[in-house]
Chain A
Amino acid sequence: MTASGELSIGGNSDIVLVRQRVRAAAVEVGLSLVDQTKIVTAASELARNALVYAGGGRVRIEIVRNGVKMGLRLAFDDDGPGIPDVDQALTDGWTTGNGLGLGLSGSRRLVDDFDLRSAPGEGTRVTVTKWAR
């Protein structure tokens, strides 16, 4: 698959690149225009989180299958300070930065599967999947 691969996130221009690559992969998987926009937006949020709160990270873009269904899986990894209270971080409007506090919680609503693993000092791994309908 041409659109799969790993990208590093080290600056704002990388977030643009992540969006472009995710959009290309979403088209390849056959997501609808609305779902394409949703996964691209979620990717933008999660990539920015990795950049802002962990100083950078990586994303793995993968095309996955579940029976006949095709899906797009994105795994964001960083070696940042980690999230002490995951439930609180997933609350609408809660932020330690100066954003709207909707990036993480909103991303969860934008995708079909959402998995967040984090512990203080051990970085954060967010895996999201969007299935084609």
Chain B
Amino acid sequence: MGVTLIVRPDAGRRRIEELVRQHEDRVLKRWLEITAAASAGRPDQGDTAARLTEIYQALRQSFAGDGDTSDLHGLLAELSRSRARQGFSPSETASAVFALKEALYEVVEDDGTPEALRGFVWFSKTVDDLGLFTFETYVTARERIIIDQAEQLLELSTPVVKLWEGIVAVPLIGTLDSARTQVVMEKLLQALVDTGSEHAVIDITGVPSVDTQVAQHLLKTVMAARLMGAECVISGIRPQIAHTIVTLGIEFGDIVTKASLSDALAHALRRSGVELAGNRRTRVTVRTEEE
């Protein structure tokens, strides 16, 4: 013996809206209990409770009104951000939102009408969307941070240092892609102008592998420096890199390359008329000879 229940599509939704309104205190209290239990031992329980209360009211208003959810989304975004700062994972935040389903289900069960059960499916979907929205907010915020950091890293990782009067050096560390080479080139050329240097040392000790793209970037940087009247030395060519460059067939032409930064500095000093003198066993002393 089956009983056929006929429920009009929006009757369920209206019943849920009524229940959310009528049993506000009970559902909200239960929701806060569930989320508090899930995040036991974390600080700032009061903060989350206040935010959830606001969200509940915004949800009720979006049901009652014209379905405008911009308020609700704003509050959810804030919840997501504040909880992220407190060290909650995005899953925990989404779970806190999903807990609203459990809280309301107890009311729906007591109500027991087919409309309420039918409407609960719709309500469940709505809450899923809200939970996923907090997740998205979290991911978007995280991506922002990563982009910002990548930009900062680009700035940080390419210092131009002055080694001597008229000699600047760029110690390159890590991967050389087009974006970084652009920054390196700009900084180096600007440093040549600012310091009036005629010698530049590009040190690639910290570059793990030199492929054709990196080599091409280096060649272009050297060419650009030459156009400005500066002579470039590439230093920090380790044995395995030298081996690879030769096998690849890259030609550095008449560009001076050195194994170490100190060799490159010595070369640049010689070229700029500074003579190195002294006992090698003790210490290298450097003096400038005036012409």
- Are the C-beta atoms of A37 and B212 separated by less than 8 Å? no
Question: Residues 81-102 of chain A: 1 if any B CB is under 8 Å from the residue's CB, otherwise 0?
Answer: 0000000000010000001101
The reply on A36 being an interface residue by CB < 8 A is yes
The reply on A103 being an interface residue by CB < 8 A is yes
With A19-B209, A48-B213: A102-B243 Cβ-Cβ less than 8 Å: no
The reply on A77 being an interface residue by CB < 8 A is no
- Are the C-beta atoms of B209 and A41 separated by less than 8 Å? yes
Interface stretch of the complex, out of B3-11, B31-39, B195-203, B244-252: B244-252
Question: Residues 19-40 of chain A: 1 if any B CB is under 8 Å from the residue's CB, otherwise 0?
Answer: 1000100000000011011101
| Cross-chain contact of A110 among B213, B215, B239, B248 (Cβ < 8 A) | B248
The reply on A105 being an interface residue by CB < 8 A is yes
Instruction: Report the nearest B residue to A45, measured CB to CB.
Output: B211
A100 and B249 CA atoms in complex are apart in Å by 10
CB-defined contacts of B49 to chain A, threshold 8 Å: none
- Are the C-beta atoms of B212 and A103 separated by less than 8 Å? yes
The reply on A106 being an interface residue by CB < 8 A is yes
A33 and B249 CA atoms in complex are apart in Å by 19
CB-defined contacts of B247 to chain A, threshold 8 Å: 38, 106, 109-110
- Are the C-beta atoms of A99 and B216 separated by less than 8 Å? yes
Give chain A interface residues in 41-78, CB to chain B under 8 Å.
41, 44-45, 48
CB-defined contacts of A36 to chain B, threshold 8 Å: 240
Question: Residues 198-227 of chain B: 1 if any A CB is under 8 Å from the residue's CB, otherwise 0?
Answer: 000000000011111101100000000000
- Are the C-beta atoms of B250 and A100 separated by less than 8 Å? yes
- Are the C-beta atoms of A37 and B209 separated by less than 8 Å? yes
CB-defined contacts of B211 to chain A, threshold 8 Å: 41, 44-45, 48, 103
The reply on A119 being an interface residue by CB < 8 A is no
CB-defined contacts of A109 to chain B, threshold 8 Å: 247-249
| Cross-chain contact of B212 among A23, A33, A38, A99 (Cβ < 8 A) | A99
> Looking at A19, A37, A109, which has the most chain B CB atoms within 10 Å of its CB?
A37
- Are the C-beta atoms of A92 and B213 separated by less than 8 Å? no
With A12-B177, A48-B211: A37-B243 Cβ-Cβ less than 8 Å: yes
A125 and B216 CA atoms in complex are apart in Å by 25
A44 and B208 CA atoms in complex are apart in Å by 12
The reply on B75 being an interface residue by CB < 8 A is no
The reply on B154 being an interface residue by CB < 8 A is no
Question: Residues 243-281 of chain B: 1 if any A CB is under 8 Å from the residue's CB, otherwise 0?
Answer: 110011110000000000000000000000000000000
Instruction: Report the nearest B residue to A93, measured CB to CB.
Output: B249
B287 CB to closest chain A CB (Å) equals: 39
The reply on B149 being an interface residue by CB < 8 A is no
CB-defined contacts of A41 to chain B, threshold 8 Å: 209-211, 244, 248
A102 and B211 CA atoms in complex are apart in Å by 9
| Cross-chain contact of B249 among A34, A44, A106 (Cβ < 8 A) | A106
- Are the C-beta atoms of A105 and B249 separated by less than 8 Å? yes
B181 CB to closest chain A CB (Å) equals: 12
Instruction: Report the nearest B residue to A36, measured CB to CB.
Output: B240
Give chain A interface residues in 6-23, CB to chain B under 8 Å.
12, 16, 19, 23
- Are the C-beta atoms of A40 and B209 separated by less than 8 Å? yes
A-B contact pairs, 5 of them (CB 8 A): A12-B178, A23-B208, A38-B243, A103-B211, A106-B248
Chain B residues proximal to chain A, CB less than 8 Å: 175, 177-178, 208-213, 215-216, 239-241, 243-244, 247-250
Supplied contacts A33-B239, A99-B213, A102-B249, 15 more A-B pairs, CB within 8 Å: A34-B239, A34-B244, A37-B240, A37-B243, A37-B244, A38-B243, A41-B211, A41-B244, A44-B209, A92-B249, A100-B212, A102-B248, A105-B249, A107-B248, A110-B247
Give the 7 A-B CB pairs with smallest separation, nearest first. A106-B248, A37-B240, A44-B211, A34-B240, A100-B212, A109-B247, A41-B211
